[in-house]
Amino acid sequence: MATIAKRTSEWAGWAILTAAIGYFFLRDVPHYAIYTPESYGEHWEARGYLIPHVVGAGIAILIGLAQFSTTIRQRWPAVHRLCGRVYVTATVIGAPAAMFLATKSECQTCKPALGSLAVYWLAATLVAFYFARNRSFATHRAFMIRSYVAMNVFVVVRIGYEIAGARVEDMAVRTMVEFGTVLGTLFLVEAYFAWGSDLKIGNAIVRKRRAQADGSKLSGS
């Protein structure tokens, strides 16, 4: 029963994430294909950074969905490895561009959140790649999750803008949205790994001690 609930929650999570990515792409990406100042708006001056970021992150965010497919990993490992190399290459292009874009943000107080997120995304990807090359696959998967979550924070930020509505024009509100979504999302993923590991260890010790206590009671009786 617990396994069914876990699988259902995982499928629900992936469905929500896929829907959010689809919404983000349909709303924010197409107008960048029209190479004019009017279409790019406030980002026109930073287009030298924006275009590599959109291309790199766009490829990585789409191919990343397939990378977590157990079916692809088991049945077509060569495809998984190829897609992984494409993901890393796209990240190496998209993440540094995101760092430069952060420095160009009109929201001065937002720059640390966006810049550190881009650094985290790149670092997690390179660490994941290192452990994949050294066949430490559990660690590789953990850092790939960190990488993919970090990249998708950019999607979560846009959703935060939507929730804030017109208030996002206030730089104080925009700062709260960006710091809240960045730090909140990264905190949750780190809590997932750290708390999950600690809870497993803690529960194993509790079960062992209870079993020992029950054994002592039985032997005493």
- From residue 7, alpha-carbon distances to 12, 85, 145, 195, 221 in Å are 8, 28, 17, 20, 43
Tokens 């959140």 belong to which residue? 113
pLDDT tens digits, residue range 123-164?
999 999 999 999 898 899 889 999 998 888 877 877 777 777
pTM exceeds 0.85, yes or no: no
CB 153 within 8 A of CB 186: yes
CB half-sphere exposure, 139, CA atoms < 13 A: 11
pLDDT at 4: 67
Which residue's entry shows tokens 């699988």?
7
| pLDDT tens track for 161-183 | 777 777 777 788 888 888 888 88
Domain ranges of the chain: 15-195
pLDDT in tens for each of the 221 residues of the chain?
A: 546 666 676 677 777 777 877 877 777 778 788 888 888 777 788 888 889 988 998 899 889 888 887 788 888 889 899 999 999 999 999 999 988 888 887 777 778 888 888 999 999 999 999 999 998 988 998 899 999 988 888 778 777 777 777 777 778 888 888 888 888 888 888 888 877 777 778 888 888 888 777 666 666 55
What's the CA gap between 94 and 117, in Å, rounded? Answer: 12
